[in-house]
Structure 1
């Protein structure tokens, strides 16, 4: 079953030549998306093994390992995150070793006719794909665990462990229901192509397939090895020797005493003018690899970034709208009217764990920085713009597919759908429906049985399920075509319905947002299985098992850490040198205050400071309409066809990253996916996605090595100017309003 690369007419570049006598099926590559045609082979061999004993052994171990490591180190100041790409590389030699050493013995299940072989033959690319799906379940961040952390470590109250465990499991499994409902539209439709998956496909092919090397060239696997070693070696510089190279803010190095210039120039705490980073992790920090994002999406996001960061924020800040000069220009913290951190404990009723209205009235309204305001404003606009954009551009096709309950005719299918339909049984729809009904029932039981701990009435869950059901489709369409997504819908709605209940708001956010995010992950993986020709039932089993294992391991490790480490997530009370600071849970905690404890009525309505932000809902609702109309009037205008209002809006929010991340992400993405794609398409087709995977893998493996070899042994780095991961812009976080006194900042008169 070895695959040999030769020149082929399929898409004008090197493709695979497959021996039909071994079961290979080759069809015309008629996929409508060029990037997919250039990357995914129009072939399949249904005789290749997929869900084997090796898949289960390596896959389950990978899922447990990644869940344990990523959870354990997620809460530390020096974080460690291992992605599935690491397992993807390591699993290949392990799988081949097992294929060479395991006995070819049939194992029968007692009292059944079922049996399996310990060694069904050569280790296949389909096995490697399923192992990676297993691993990716353990590599992800479980949204529900933020609720447990914030309740116990930030609010310092208790939550029933059974309620917490059920919250984690049900919120993750709920996504299977939404994925099952929309899989026909978001997976089977060839125009829903999930760009991130092309990196995975390219890496599988580079690692697994044999390739004939032309004289004077290198194979894709050799190219991967060269880039991987280079990335691995280079990351010693930003990862240990010279961390400051990750963000270099030129203006701050020149104007060391000017607040304004540091606000303009800081890539971490300011607008990032003249700021850059020579570090792949800086490039991928926010939107992931730019090489996986289409050039049109990058242009739209960067247009939004420039409008938001270089037009709206400067105008609002230097005209002192909403008194924002009292606060840092870039910050995700919340403040009182004096410009100091908001004292949350003052407004909480310790007996009922709800808002103390009298204290809230006498203390201060919630205040946030201008970039945080813009982030929420763009989130509001993104919600309505997404619905209108998808309805206008894709509504007819979606409605047609929704009405068509029968399988599409062969003539209407693309090559990958035809191969999948011919060779494999689909997952019955009732599997998803049964799982959805079961999880909904278990979720309602969780909220009724542990209402005191979660503050959630059962009727609220039904409402949140309807919201998730409605919003999964428009957000899913955008993610499937651009790789990007964003929303805060559940926080806002239930902040209005149940104000003053922070745990309830976080719970609703978990069931709404987390279940949708899980659905997107599952749909993306189903699409990857579509490209890799994995039997759908095998995909479903692996996804379900991996999700349950990862949820259990994540919950167990987090609970252990919470119960054994004193003052976890509280840097002021932790012992000196302790690394358990939970750097990523601060934003989640602040959001629970804004949306849950204080509530949107006292923040974004007439009782708060920011009621005008609600106009962003209207802006998002109306803005897509004229551009859609113009694209219909002038159908040959390429520029109008490329305008994507939701992405432009999303790019303007600067949430939750820094300006330097946007700048570097956009620069790298435009260079490769526009310039290289236009000028050197054959090189782009062979190398771009492989290069992205190699860069990711090199950074990940060196990051692991640095952590365990050095940082784990309290060797933090070299003590010199460049040994600090900072851009040396301390004044960028200072307020500029007169008489606001902040420690370390000069007082402006």
Structure 2
């Protein structure tokens, strides 16, 4: 099938800057032209090193093969990810699996399908327009990535179905999912000139995809690069992918102690203070290691060094310094609640607070019952999470305004079209743009449908409440997405949306969940779409093809998320709502319960009670002031001492690191930091050629191998296909457990903490 537009068949390459004849006759001219070529390249060094500046405009992205393969893998991805949502052990539908499988199938279809064309009403079609090319392959991956997720709105539909016995009909459910997933499209269209076209908006995770697609298609620049022992890029990829796939069976299945390698705990494993400080499951994880690649991640090999150091600095400051001090001194009663890191609510004496005991039948708060008892309390370190979340949010806005505001204003004035544009932006001008009217119309249609859904089905959230949620998304999307594009890190909107709705619509948990979903997802989906647009930018996919591909994947994802949800809830209702326990331990409603519980806390209990200015947690709002002021101070210092990179001291990222593990599982800090320093500091600085050639393809191969292992364990050893296929590893030192399934005499697999709370040491016993 032919693409929407047929741009002129030209190829932009290095030869446009270096004339072959002149270069042969005049070496000095060749050097000068090569320097001009490098000057015209991206201003971001990592992008210059890995993103080719060539384009074959004759390649067609939307073909018959695209429609078949994108639909097939989008359906599988949506079903699998929604299926995992209700399972006790989650797997991952890896985009690299899609890329590999779709490449093999696309090449096969190119060989087998007829090459002739046929005409329908004067429109020519071809089932096989030529070899399977890099652009249709990339667009397949982009479509599938938009489909292969468990839509956030599913939490709302599951919670109302399981806990209120109220099932929104198919039309309302599909519109709720579709509008929450698509409301960000119009925003992405407006913001693309600021967040996609400028060179400094890198969107770092796309660099791995760029290298992978060019490697597997063996494009011109990658043909000349030979790896170790003369291997091709893909031979190198498969060697390390298979190696990681085999290795990951050890930490993920045979020896989980290697996931939580808390060696410091072994010094005194039954000491309560040692457990709270050194355990990476329940405590701060000080100096804890993890030999599971899933805990480290390939992003440590290529995300900006300064941003990673800021993030790890925040983690170390909070979990390795503040947590031990607060625990050992019992500051604010930290020890009272049993464990330092948890999001649960408690009474002042440390017993669990049951919010259901103080709710009316309509799930609003029974004020008389609540006031008759002791107030709900949070652990001090969880309250700190709210404080640093506000620091991160306001710090993000302030940092972007101070350090990148001039650039954003410049891009707005230039409106994309000046001679100083990024080279990839100039190359994309050959393709017809998506008119702003398309995005604007799409946004208003989705907003109107969202109002219809709220007024008809989600009766607790009035139309004006929805508009407030969308306004929050509009106000904060630009700085958050700019921060993410530049550094790879950015705050979310889930906390601020919960609190705002808790104030404007108190006592309405369903309204709170829906408000959060629209406010948070408008930013989150916009961010995902902008990231995909940047990938299309790097790969030179026509914008109109991108628009169709993104929407197609989203539409398929919505439909099959919903169908999978209905099938699972109907077959596992009693297990998911907590009335019975799954005898095989495979199904759980914990994720829905957590979402519902959050809606009850902030919708029914309300932030006015939890965060009253006169109460114990009133300090959290000062985080907004702290985050707003610090970047201004750093910006002033950058003017006084311009040789110091003050912008690298990003308070938003530091605060984000401080709030990274509100419920524990801090095992990734030390291992991730080591990997970051090796690849992003030492190798990138002192062996740049090696980093350019190996780092990104190595990151993609390791991530792919680890993801495949998790999927294989889940399907074939963990009962994913059938409970009869579940295979338990025999108990041994690295996987010690009793026949009852407990890690006795230890509290957890990290060999830290006494079983059943029986301690032999630690202060305050």
TM-score calculated relative to the size of structure 1: 0.90
| 1:248 and 1:727 in contact (8 A); partners too | no
| 2:259 and 2:667 in contact (8 A); partners too | no
Aligned-residue offset at 1:84: 1.2
Gaps of 5+ in 2: 1-8, 19-35, 720-724
Q: Give distance in 1, aligned partners of 2:386 and 2:743.
A: 26
In structure 1, the residue matched to 2:729 is 717
Q: Equivalences for 1:423-438 in 2 at 5 Å?
A: 423-438=430-445
Aligned-residue offset at 1:690: 0.6
Aligned-residue offset at 1:171: 0.7
Q: Give distance in 1, aligned partners of 2:611 and 2:149.
A: 32
Are the structure 2 counterparts of residues 215 and 583 from structure 1 closer, same or farther at C-alpha, using a change threshold of 3 Å? closer
Q: Give distance in 1, aligned partners of 2:698 and 2:14.
A: 21
Q: In structure 2, which of residues 471, 483, 487 is the aligned counterpart of residue 466 of structure 1?
A: 471
Q: Equivalences for 1:648-727 in 2 at 5 Å?
A: 648-655=654-661, 658-712=665-719, 713-723=725-735
| 2:302 and 2:679 in contact (8 A); partners too | no
Q: In structure 1, which of residues 114, 130, 153 is the aligned counterpart of residue 139 of structure 2?
A: 130
In structure 1, the residue matched to 2:97 is 86
Match of 2:314, SS?
helix
Q: Deviations over 1:233-291 (max 9, x none)?
A: 1111122221221111113223122110111110121111231111111113xxx7322
In structure 2, the residue matched to 1:271 is 284
Are the structure 2 counterparts of residues 6 and 618 from structure 1 closer, same or farther at C-alpha, using a change threshold of 3 Å? closer
In structure 2, the residue matched to 1:65 is 76
1:527 matches 2:544 = no
| 2:391 and 2:651 in contact (8 A); partners too | no
Q: In structure 2, which of residues 397, 401, 412 is the aligned counterpart of residue 402 of structure 1?
A: 412
Match of 2:125, SS?
strand
In structure 2, the residue matched to 1:515 is 522
Q: Give distance in 2, aligned partners of 1:451 and 1:687.
A: 51
Aligned-residue offset at 1:334: 2.2
In structure 1, the residue matched to 2:312 is 302
In structure 2, the residue matched to 1:326 is 336
| 1:59 and 1:132 in contact (8 A); partners too | yes
Are the structure 2 counterparts of residues 215 and 166 from structure 1 closer, same or farther at C-alpha, using a change threshold of 3 Å? closer
Q: In structure 2, which of residues 742, 747, 756 is the aligned counterpart of residue 730 of structure 1?
A: 747
In structure 1, the residue matched to 2:5 is none
| 1:142 and 1:551 in contact (8 A); partners too | yes
Q: Equivalences for 1:616-627 in 2 at 5 Å?
A: 616-627=623-634
Aligned-residue offset at 1:7: 14
TM-score calculated relative to the size of structure 2: 0.88
Q: Give distance in 1, aligned partners of 2:576 and 2:144.
A: 27
| 1:269 and 1:732 in contact (8 A); partners too | no
Aligned-residue offset at 1:724: 6.2
1:43 matches 2:48 = no
Q: Give distance in 1, aligned partners of 2:600 and 2:331.
A: 23
1:183 matches 2:206 = no
Aligned-residue offset at 1:6: 12
Q: Give distance in 2, aligned partners of 1:229 and 1:6.
A: 36
Are the structure 2 counterparts of residues 724 and 334 from structure 1 closer, same or farther at C-alpha, using a change threshold of 3 Å? farther
Q: Give distance in 2, aligned partners of 1:662 and 1:597.
A: 36
Q: In structure 2, which of residues 559, 579, 588 is the aligned counterpart of residue 581 of structure 1?
A: 588
Q: Give distance in 2, aligned partners of 1:339 and 1:732.
A: 25
Q: Give distance in 2, aligned partners of 1:114 and 1:178.
A: 33
Are the structure 2 counterparts of residues 611 and 207 from structure 1 closer, same or farther at C-alpha, using a change threshold of 3 Å? same
Are the structure 2 counterparts of residues 205 and 7 from structure 1 closer, same or farther at C-alpha, using a change threshold of 3 Å? farther
Q: In structure 2, which of residues 490, 496, 507 is the aligned counterpart of residue 489 of structure 1?
A: 496
| 2:94 and 2:708 in contact (8 A); partners too | no
Are the structure 2 counterparts of residues 36 and 485 from structure 1 closer, same or farther at C-alpha, using a change threshold of 3 Å? same
Match of 1:115, SS?
strand
Larger mean Cα displacement after TM superposition, 549-558 or 335-344? 335-344
In structure 2, the residue matched to 1:113 is 122
Q: Deviations over 1:6-49 (max 9, x none)?
A: 99999xxxxxxxxxxxxxxx965520100000010011110012
Are the structure 2 counterparts of residues 597 and 716 from structure 1 closer, same or farther at C-alpha, using a change threshold of 3 Å? farther
Q: Give distance in 2, aligned partners of 1:622 and 1:654.
A: 22
In structure 2, the residue matched to 1:387 is 397
Larger mean Cα displacement after TM superposition, 317-326 or 510-519? 317-326
Match of 2:576, SS?
coil
| 2:334 and 2:380 in contact (8 A); partners too | yes
Q: Give distance in 2, aligned partners of 1:322 and 1:586.
A: 28
Q: Give distance in 1, aligned partners of 2:651 and 2:574.
A: 45
Q: Deviations over 1:305-349 (max 9, x none)?
A: 122122332333333333222211011222233323321211221
Q: Give distance in 1, aligned partners of 2:614 and 2:271.
A: 36
Gaps of 5+ in 1: 11-25, 737-741
1:504 matches 2:511 = yes
Aligned-residue offset at 1:216: 4.0
Q: In structure 2, which of residues 129, 133, 158 is the aligned counterpart of residue 149 of structure 1?
A: 158
Aligned-residue offset at 1:572: 7.0
1:56 matches 2:67 = yes
Q: Give distance in 2, aligned partners of 1:9 and 1:331.
A: 59
In structure 1, the residue matched to 2:347 is 336
Query: How many residues of Structure 1 are paired with residues of Structure 2 in the alignment?
Result: 714
Give the superposed CA RMSD. Answer: 2.8
Q: Give distance in 1, aligned partners of 2:256 and 2:326.
A: 33
Aligned-residue offset at 1:631: 1.1
Are the structure 2 counterparts of residues 216 and 605 from structure 1 closer, same or farther at C-alpha, using a change threshold of 3 Å? same
| 2:286 and 2:319 in contact (8 A); partners too | no
Q: Give distance in 2, aligned partners of 1:403 and 1:432.
A: 21
Q: In structure 2, which of residues 268, 278, 300 is the aligned counterpart of residue 290 of structure 1?
A: 300
| 1:336 and 1:366 in contact (8 A); partners too | yes
Q: Give distance in 1, aligned partners of 2:186 and 2:271.
A: 54
1:248 matches 2:256 = no
Q: Give distance in 2, aligned partners of 1:215 and 1:746.
A: 53
| 1:80 and 1:707 in contact (8 A); partners too | yes
In structure 2, the residue matched to 1:259 is 272
1:554 matches 2:566 = no
Q: In structure 2, which of residues 371, 382, 386 is the aligned counterpart of residue 372 of structure 1?
A: 382
| 2:159 and 2:596 in contact (8 A); partners too | yes
Aligned-residue offset at 1:180: 1.0
Q: Deviations over 1:494-524 (max 9, x none)?
A: 1111122111111000001012100000000
Are the structure 2 counterparts of residues 719 and 115 from structure 1 closer, same or farther at C-alpha, using a change threshold of 3 Å? farther
Aligned-residue offset at 1:59: 0.7
Q: Give distance in 2, aligned partners of 1:618 and 1:732.
A: 41
In structure 2, the residue matched to 1:15 is none
In structure 1, the residue matched to 2:30 is none
Match of 1:702, SS?
helix
